[in-house]
Amino acid sequence: MIRFQDVFKFYRTQKTLKIVLDHISFRLDKGVSYGIMGINGAGKSTLMRLIAGTEMPNSGRIVREARVSWPLGFAGGLHPALTGRENIQFVARVYRQDIRKAVRFVEDFSELGPFIDAPFGTYSSGMQQRLAFGLSMAIDFDCYLIDEVMAVGDSRFQQRCRDEFNKRKQYSDMIMISHSIELVQMYCDRGIVLADGKMYFFDSVSDAVEMYKQLNM
Amino acid sequence: MRTSFVAALANQKAVLGALILRDMRTRFGRTAIGFVIAVAWPLTHLLAMLGVWVAIGRAVPLGTNNVVFFGTGIMPYILCLYPGRMMMLAIQQNKPMLLFPVVKVIDIILARALLEMITAMCVLLAFCTILYIAGVDFLPNRPDIAIAAIAVTVLYGISVGLLSCVILVLFPMWVAIFILIMIAQWITSGALYLPSMMPHWVLEYIVYNPLYHCISWLRTAYYDGYGGSTVEPMYVVQVSLFTLLLGFAAERAVRGKLLMK
């Protein structure tokens, strides 16, 4: 469960003040997957970072009673000078996972072959994404964050990502940002629309989609 | 995540352990000898300075052994400067790790502090070993005081570094100011002369320099009756603890900014 208590979040652009969350309180329940929709610039990705805890609110409290992932497929925290294997070992250590099991899983899943022992910085962007994706699957998160990217690589690998993800969905929840109405409808139980610093909650995804469509008009 | 105290402690241990390992591996590029460089750098600095001052061969104002007089002056400076500087760069160098939600700013700071203590210990051991092999009698009369003085010196360096690493994220200029402060402390520390030879009005200012007390305290472990009433080890401890407090408070106050920059 993740609780927001009177959360206020803004950021400054060149001249304007952008309010992402205007003193908002809500609760994301365990066992439910949420789809977050909103027009470009509504602050969806900022909201995601607040949920993950990699950014702080300007005021208010965020309480996490679940282990939340970093945004899926995101490779920013991996060190370019360390090999793929060393990066996996680091993340497995930090999250207290069986290190050898994690390495074996990613080795098998990400299909990096001998590159697993090459510095991460020498990887192609596709390989980086594959490693990052495999890594987030190797760790038992209670809740996966998905910021647009659900699957990486070529179409065969993307299928592999989706298959693995569907397995995961049995034990883990997900919070998904997507402009794809289809994806949200396929994976999410409830919908949230973020607009003008406010959050609108819908018990059915299709109601959220309806509002999102109106915002786009 | 709401967890029991024991589980939280185990999590903390896992994160710190992983961060220290990663820090050791990545600090000086991707080399297996990265940590050796981390020790060799301050050690070389220390030996080179000591070598120069001993080679000049000036008569030292205390005792008969040049190596001991200059060694007890230069070593605390090095063991304060390097931990301080590396602490200052902790957040800047390890920023990407904050993208893992489980890693907090405070973890990076604590991991670096622990690693700096280990590094300082290695520098000290290597330094003493080299002097022993070179046949220099560098053993203090009071090892207990010497160890306490060095420990407090490292603590002081880390406390200044902690505050600096928070300031640095907000003001990139701070590196230059930090170095200036360190140089000013070095000059007024009495490492190369005896502060008691200074006019009284100068000494009145020197006693505010924590490094002066670090060096003088260490020298009391080597020279009987040295220092007298002006050496106050507790002053360094108080300054360090206050600076640590200030550093942690500053980290908490600007944590949001540290994450975003």
pLDDT of residue B204: 86
Which ipTM value was assigned to this complex? 0.85
Instruction: Give the mean pLDDT of B196-211.
Output: 88
- Check CB contact under 8 Å for B18 and A64: no
Evaluate if residue A170 carries a pLDDT over 90. no
Tokens at B117, concatenated: 């203590």
pLDDT of residue B32: 66
**pLDDT tens digits for range A147-167:** 887 778 888 888 888 898 888
With 0-12 / 13-18 / 19 or more C-beta atoms within 10 angstroms meaning exposed / middle / buried, residue B40 is middle
Q: What's the longest Cα–Cα distance across chain A?
A: 51
Assign B235 a pLDDT band (cuts: 50, 70, 90).
Answer: very high
Q: Looking at CA atoms only, how far is residue B130 from chain A in angstroms?
A: 33
Assign A187 a pLDDT band (cuts: 50, 70, 90).
Answer: confident
Instruction: Give the mean pLDDT of B240-255.
Output: 94
The DSSP element (H or E) to which B75 belongs, if any, is helix B66-88
- Check CB contact under 8 Å for B103 and A91: no
Alpha carbon separation from B80 to A67, A210, B30 (Å, rounded):
39, 63, 26
pLDDT of residue B15: 93
**pLDDT tens digits for range B82-125:** 999 999 999 988 888 888 888 999 999 999 999 999 999 999 99
pLDDT of residue B2: 53
Could you identify the residue written with the tokens 């500053």?
B250
Q: Looking at CA atoms only, how far is residue A207 from chain B in angstroms?
A: 31
- Check CB contact under 8 Å for B256 and A68: no
Please list every residue in chain B whose beta carbon sits closer than 8 Å to the beta carbon of residue A79.
22, 26, 96
* pTM tops 0.90, yes or no: no
Task: For residues A153 and B81, give the distance between their C-alpha atoms in angstroms, rounded to a whole number.
Answer: 48
C-beta separation of B156 from B210 below 8 A: yes
* Phi, psi (rounded to 5 degrees) for A24: -110, 135
**pLDDT tens digits for range B130-179:** 999 999 888 899 999 999 999 999 999 999 999 999 999 889 999 999 99
**B51 CA to centre of own chain:** 21
Q: Is A64 on the interface with B (CB under 8 A)?
A: yes
Q: What percent of chain B has pLDDT over 90?
A: 62
Q: Please provide the DSSP assignment of A81-99 as one string.
A: TSBHHHHHHHHHHHTT--H
Per-chain mean pLDDT for chain A = 89
Nearest to B77 by CA among B225, B195, B188, B229: B188
Evaluate if residue B31 carries a pLDDT over 70. no
Q: Looking at CA atoms only, how far is residue B13 from chain A in angstroms?
A: 9
pLDDT of residue B30: 63
C-beta separation of B101 from B1 below 8 A: no
Q: What percent of chain B has pLDDT over 70?
A: 96
Please list every residue in chain A whose beta carbon sits closer than 8 Å to the beta carbon of residue B21.
90, 93
**pLDDT tens digits for range A113-131:** 999 999 999 999 889 989 9
Instruction: Give the mean pLDDT of A200-212.
Output: 89
Q: Which amino acid is at B97?
A: M
For the ranges A24-28, A79-83, B12-16, the lowest mean pLDDT is seen at A79-83
Assign A212 a pLDDT band (cuts: 50, 70, 90).
Answer: confident
Q: Is B95 on the interface with A (CB under 8 A)?
A: no
- Check CB contact under 8 Å for A55 and B96: no
